[in-house]
């Protein structure tokens, strides 16, 4: 998911206040920025929304990698619009996080110093044009699985951001599928690219939901707070059930010899991804972690003079206005 393995923060407030807060959530009320909230709720949300925002920002990079090589003007325009939407999602989410009392600069600093994470899916490379399709189809598809329920999350600004984001994400997913369709029905080379993209993105997409959290105390607390709505396994199953028929429609093979429809459950049985690889990527050892971090750090440090210049100009303008009054 765009926010993975969010641990809940400890909360030490008065039991009566906590019970009243929980009652509001259980009654389906939205918590708004000025309302009282437990410290753990606030901190967990900052971590979750911040991680989601960072994922949108870093997520520009693997797709941006193909903007300059998009094969038609229309594909270039669609991809530009998509990456622009992602930057926009980052912006709403940073704004939502700011309502919890942290600045965007603080969040950015935490991303750049490695103290905050972004979704590990963006640490995988986009090697062919089919990868742009696979990212839309699989990665956005997996993100939507998680984000649709989050439209009903308890924190008002986050829920509203999700409503807006989901509309755009489902459009992105359709665009991704459309690219895959063209590739899967195309020349031998295009078919090969499409299958190769599915081979490389299938398991990392399954990893996006995070390891099984059925037994996790963090998950239980986050679910009680309605920051998390479904378990990781539930969402992963839903994603597999949705995606397998789409792959069949495309004529592509999901790289899992154990994949089969279980007549008893009505769901697909599938192989677990390699969780060792997942934790390696999380620790910084994915194929692109160093490149992604370097790209963001360079953008930020080389942009320092621009931000300083614009701030200095704004201060001068204010001073001139005051002097004139």
Partner 1 sequence: MPDLFEWLCRMGDNTLVLGHRVSEWCGHAPVLEEDIALANTALDLIGQTQMWLGLAAEVQGEGRSADDLAFRRDAWDFRNCLLVELPNRDFGHTLMRQFLFDSWHKLMLTGLCESQDDRIAAIAMKSLKEVSYHQERSADTVIGLGDGTAESHDRMQAALDRLWPYMGELFQPDAVDDRMTRQGIAPDLAALRSGFDAIIADTIQEATLVLTDSRFAHRGGRDGSRHTEHLGHMLAVMQVLPRSYPDARW
Residues at the contact surface with partner 1, assessed by CB under 8 A:
57, 60-61, 64, 67-77, 80-81, 83-84, 87-88, 90-91, 94, 104, 129, 179, 182, 186-187, 189-190, 295, 298-300, 302-314, 316
158 burial class (0-12, 13-18, 19+ CB within 10 angstroms)? buried
Nearer to partner 1, 178 or 277 (CB): 178
Nearer to partner 1, 20 or 312 (CB): 312
Partners of residue 31 on adjacent β-strands: 155
Q: Are 54 and 6 within 8 A, CB to CB?
A: no
| Least distance from partner 1 to the Cβ atom of residue 230, Å | 30
| Least distance from partner 1 to the Cβ atom of residue 118, Å | 13
Nearer to partner 1, 111 or 247 (CB): 111
CA angle 264, 268, 274 (to 5 degrees): 130
| Least distance from partner 1 to the Cβ atom of residue 295, Å | 7
Nearer to partner 1, 66 or 270 (CB): 66
Q: Are 65 and 126 within 8 A, CB to CB?
A: yes
Axis crossing angle, helix 39-58 with helix 156-184, rounded to the nearest 10: 30
Nearer to partner 1, 64 or 211 (CB): 64
| Least distance from partner 1 to the Cβ atom of residue 208, Å | 20
| Least distance from partner 1 to the Cβ atom of residue 24, Å | 33
Nearer to partner 1, 57 or 244 (CB): 57
Partners of residue 130 on adjacent β-strands: none
Nearer to partner 1, 257 or 305 (CB): 305
C-alpha span between 295 and 300 (Å, rounded)? 9
| Least distance from partner 1 to the Cβ atom of residue 33, Å | 21
| Least distance from partner 1 to the Cβ atom of residue 314, Å | 8
Q: Which residue is listed with tokens 């910084």?
A: 284
């Amino acid at each position: 998911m765009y926010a993975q393995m969010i641990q809940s923060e400890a909360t030490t407030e008065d039991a009566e206040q906590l019970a009243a807060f929980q009652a509001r959530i259980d009654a389906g009320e939205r918590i708004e920025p000025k309302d009282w909230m437990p410290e753990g709720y606030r901190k967990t949300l900052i971590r979750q929304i911040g991680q989601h925002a960072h994922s949108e920002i870093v997520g520009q990079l693997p797709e941006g990698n193909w903007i300059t090589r998009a094969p038609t003007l229309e594909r270039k325009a669609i991809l530009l619009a998509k990456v622009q939407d992602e930057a926009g999602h980052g912006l709403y989410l940073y704004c939502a996080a700011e309502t919890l009392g942290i600045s965007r600069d603080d969040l950015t600093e935490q991303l750049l110093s490695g103290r905050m994470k972004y979704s590990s899916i963006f640490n995988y490379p986009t090697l062919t044009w089919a990868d742009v399709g696979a990212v839309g189809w699989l990665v956005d598809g997996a993100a939507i699985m998680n984000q649709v329920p989050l439209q009903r999350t308890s924190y008002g600004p986050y829920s509203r951001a999700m409503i807006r984001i989901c509309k755009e994400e489902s459009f992105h997913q359709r665009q991704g599928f459309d690219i895959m369709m063209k590739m899967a029905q195309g020349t031998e080379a295009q078919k090969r690219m499409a299958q190769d993209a599915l081979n490389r993105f299938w398991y990392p997409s399954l990893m996006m939901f995070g390891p099984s959290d059925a037994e996790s105390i963090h998950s239980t607390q986050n679910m009680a707070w309605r920051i998390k709505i479904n378990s990781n396994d539930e969402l992963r199953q839903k994603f597999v059930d949705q995606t397998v028929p789409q792959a069949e429609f495309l004529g592509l093979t999901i790289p899992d010899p154990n994949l089969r429809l279980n007549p008893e459950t009505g769901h697909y049985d599938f192989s677990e991804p390699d969780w060792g690889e997942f934790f390696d990527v999380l620790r910084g050892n994915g194929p692109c972690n160093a490149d992604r971090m370097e790209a963001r750090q360079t953008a930020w440090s080389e942009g320092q003079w621009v931000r300083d210049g614009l701030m200095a100009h704004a201060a001068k303008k204010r001073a001139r206005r005051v002097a004139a009054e």
